[in-house]
Amino acid sequence: MKRQVLLFLPVLCLSYVLGQVSYSIPEEMVKGSVVGSIAHDLGLDLKRLKSGKARVYTGGSVEYIGLNKERGVVLVHERIDREALCGEMTPCALHFQLILENPMELFRVTVEITDINDNTPSFTNTEKRFEISESAVIGSKFILEKAVDSDIGRNGLQQYTLTPTDHFVLKLENQADGSKKVEMVLQKPLDREKQEYMSLQLTAIDGGEPQMSGTMRIFINVLDVNDNAPAFAKPLYRAKIPENSPKGTSVATVSASDRDIGSNGEVSYLISTSKRLLSELFKINPRTGEIILVGEIDYEKANSYQMDIEVVDSGGLSDSTKVIVDVIDINDNSPHINIVSKSEFISEASPPNTVITMLSINDPDSENNGKVECNIDDTIPFKIQTTLNGFYTIVTEVALDRERASEYNISVTCSDEGVPSLSSSVTLTLQISDVNDNEPVFERSSYEAYIVENNTPGVSVFTVRATDADWNQNARVSYILEDSSVNGVPVSSYVSISADSGVIHAVRSFDYEQIKDFQFRVKAQDGGSPPLSSNVTVKMMIQDQNDNPPQVLYPVQTGGSVVAEMVPRSADVGYLVTKVVAVDVDSGQNAWLSYKLQKATDRALFEVGSQNGEIRTIRQVSDKDAVKQRLSVIVEDNGQPSRSATVIVNVAVADSFPEVLSEFSDFPHDKEYNDNLTFYLVLALAVVSFLFITCLVVIISVKIYRWRQSRILYHSNLPVIPYYPPRYSDTLGTTGTLQHVYNYEVCRTTDSRKSDCKFGRGGSQNVLIMDPSCSGTMQRMQSEKSILDEPDSPLEVSNLGFKSRVTC
């Protein structure tokens, strides 16, 4: 504590004011604190104070200071608050009097109260709020509240600070009353987008020791201004959309951001490209930025679209971006097949790889959707080849044959490689034109024709037919008889053929007995150029007719002469009298002969073997039987109708020749003639025997040849009726010979008048010839010769065994 004692000499001459004393104390001293030693200062002794009943007189105000008489000091009696006592007044002093009695004395005491820093600067409001537009200009001022500090002097308010100071600085301005105006000034632009809210602190500081301060918070809300343009997130958007997408498909969504808020941040989108096409295809939702397809897009028209999108906020600030829409190809086009050129006809002789059609294929789709492959049915002899891009040729793969297929439907199918694949097809009709490459073909490899003998000339026998696989003129077949000869005669004199129809006609009447078969060749030729031909063998078989009656070879029937068989009277039952030998030049059934006894002198005596023609006795010959027996035997063949011949057999039943003669004496006789006859007969017999043996050798060799031929014949399909001549038996060693050897000779002499005939027979049989004139016989011989006289054609008497050829 600082104590000052001021001694004032009385200025005013007051009798009772003896002196005055001053003290100085700080405020807020504790009660009882000594202010000053007043006794000492006034030069009073403590006894005087007591005797004088010293007391403090304040004039009725609060007694802050008290007197301690014992110690002679003044003390703080009440708490002294300078601010309450004086406010802002300076100096601040307490004035009171010290009064003494006995004698009355008055002393003036002044106590100056000095300030201590016992008050902090303070604001009325602890916070203040501002709303400042971000567009506020630099230098804008904002009034702040002043702080209050009751202390004075150094202890009073000294300064303010504002923190932070990024945007605002504090400005203090002296005012007329000596106080200060507190303002903050914008020194850096505000940006709501960076910092919307700010909080600052204003601090007021006094100058006391220790220093004291008070604070106030300042809250600033930065108000938005449309100072930001909207901005697209990307400078370029890419989108893909399949072609043929339905209307309403969302293509892409663009988005722009505006950092402003509220209406300043509201944006709307629009397509700014002015192309009409684009606006017909796409629309943008102005609020969401979604681009929507509203038209039809076709990859084949445009595979990409570009558009500019603009965004505008309510303040008119804008941005733009680009959107590229790529159209994805869809396999929506099937391949187009164009026929560049085509042939309607192609010759069957065309070599492989002949081009028949040229196609051009295109598919407007892209990539695999537009890659096309063409195929044709592989069962047809064509193939498809690709040449230049998109060009195909259809060529023949192998040689063609019109006869197999005269027309082709070539179905070309082209498919692309899209998924799913699309295809289209076209059918081409190709005609194959004919080339004469097929010869006529006969229906059979060989023909056999049958004709019954004795046909009328010109009759049609048979038809050959050949077909030609070619077409039209190339298939027109004509038939030609090929030159050959049959038995030295040109075949054309036997048969002719109708060129158009293939009908074979017999030119002449055939005789089975002369010719049994022959063969010739027929050629079939087509009308092509050059013509092609083929030939076939036709074997003509002549069939037998029963046109020849049986001919009786033995006994020889002469007109006038009588030949008789002799039967001794002693003959037993079954005695073989003779055998009727007959032949039939026909064959088969027509030559199958049977014998019957037609008439007889005595029917009970003889019988005829129906098969073999043997005449035998059927009872013992008796003496009563007439010498001259006459039998009429009928020989019939088995043909339809059957033909027959009758033979008269004379039988003489006698033991001796004279007996016979007498019986047959009615025949005219001449002795000399008989002598002559006997000579001639012997001569003739010798000659005939020689000829016969010669003939026999020839016949046997011919027969063997024939037999071989006939075996071949029997193996063919001719119906064969087995025919066995009379008395034929297989049990005999020699196949096909008779049990008895029958010989017959035919004789002809140059002199008909002198001629005579003898028909001899082997064995023990007697032969009786009684014919005075041979003329009748000769005539018959003559006619027989004409039958037998076929040159180089031995007469077949029968099929088996009994064959002879007579040449005179």
Ligand X SMILES: *[C@@H]1O[C@H](CO)[C@@H](O)[C@H](O)[C@H]1NC(C)=O
Q: How far is the CB of 681 from ligand X (least distance, A)?
A: 59
Q: How far is the CB of 490 from ligand X (least distance, A)?
A: 15
Q: How far is the CB of 437 from ligand X (least distance, A)?
A: 17
Q: Which is nearer to ligand X, 467 or 644 (CB)?
A: 467
User: Would the CA dihedral through 510, 512, 515, 521 be positive or negative?
Assistant: positive
Q: How far is the CB of 523 from ligand X (least distance, A)?
A: 6
How far CA 776 is from CA of 90, 501, 561, 654, 748, in Å, comes to: 222, 54, 9, 28, 12
Q: How far is the CB of 323 from ligand X (least distance, A)?
A: 54
Strands (E), 584-669: 594-600, 606-608, 614-617, 628-636, 644-653
- 3-class SS of residue 68: strand
Site map 526..545 versus ligand X, x via CB under 6 A: ---------x----------
Are 596 and 608 contacting, i.e. CB atoms less than 8 angstroms apart? yes
Q: How far is the CB of 444 from ligand X (least distance, A)?
A: 13
Site map 146..185 versus ligand X, x via CB under 6 A: ----------------------------------------
CA–CA gap between residue 376 and residue 393 (Å, rounded): 11
Angle at 20 between CA 19 and CA 24, to 5 degrees: 160
Cα-to-chain-centroid distance, residue 509: 70
Site map 356..385 versus ligand X, x via CB under 6 A: ------------------------------
Q: Which is nearer to ligand X, 405 or 682 (CB)?
A: 405
Q: How far is the CB of 378 from ligand X (least distance, A)?
A: 15
Q: How far is the CB of 536 from ligand X (least distance, A)?
A: 8
Kindly report whether the peptide bond that precedes residue 668 is cis, defined as omega within 30 degrees of 0: no
Q: How far is the CB of 406 from ligand X (least distance, A)?
A: 8
**Cβ atoms within 10 Å of 167's Cβ, excluding its own:** 21
Residue 437 binds ligand X, judged by CB under 6 A: no
Q: Which is nearer to ligand X, 534 or 598 (CB)?
A: 534
Q: Which is nearer to ligand X, 380 or 634 (CB)?
A: 380
CA–CA gap between residue 332 and residue 219 (Å, rounded): 68
Q: Which is nearer to ligand X, 203 or 535 (CB)?
A: 535
The three state secondary structure string of 243-276 is CCCCCCCEEEECCEECCCCHHHHCEEEEECCCCH
Q: How far is the CB of 429 from ligand X (least distance, A)?
A: 6
Q: Which is nearer to ligand X, 217 or 523 (CB)?
A: 523
Please select the residue that binds ligand X; options are 409, 473, 509, 735, rule is CB under 6 A. Answer: 409
Task: Enumerate residues 6+ apart whose C-beta is below 8 A from 689.
Answer: none
Go through the chain and tell me how many residues it has. Answer: 808
CA–CA gap between residue 229 and residue 8 (Å, rounded): 82
Q: Which is nearer to ligand X, 417 or 482 (CB)?
A: 482
Q: How far is the CB of 445 from ligand X (least distance, A)?
A: 9
Q: Which is nearer to ligand X, 159 or 535 (CB)?
A: 535
CA–CA gap between residue 310 and residue 230 (Å, rounded): 10
Q: Which is nearer to ligand X, 378 or 407 (CB)?
A: 407
Q: Which is nearer to ligand X, 534 or 644 (CB)?
A: 534
Please select the residue that binds ligand X; options are 191, 290, 308, 482, rule is CB under 6 A. Answer: 482
Are 788 and 803 contacting, i.e. CB atoms less than 8 angstroms apart? no
Q: Which is nearer to ligand X, 389 or 445 (CB)?
A: 445
Residue 429 binds ligand X, judged by CB under 6 A: yes
Please select the residue that binds ligand X; options are 131, 177, 378, 407, rule is CB under 6 A. Answer: 407
Q: How far is the CB of 483 from ligand X (least distance, A)?
A: 9
Q: Which is nearer to ligand X, 306 or 409 (CB)?
A: 409
Are 250 and 292 contacting, i.e. CB atoms less than 8 angstroms apart? yes
Binding footprint of ligand X, residue count (CB under 6 A): 5
Cα-to-chain-centroid distance, residue 175: 106
The three state secondary structure string of 322-346 is EEEEEEECCCCCCCEEEEEEECCEE
Task: Enumerate residues 6+ apart whose C-beta is below 8 A from 229.
Answer: 258, 313, 317, 318, 319
How far CA 625 is from CA of 526, 602, 604, 629, in Å, comes to: 82, 8, 11, 9
Can you give the binding site for ligand X, defined by CB under 6 A? 407, 409, 429, 482, 535
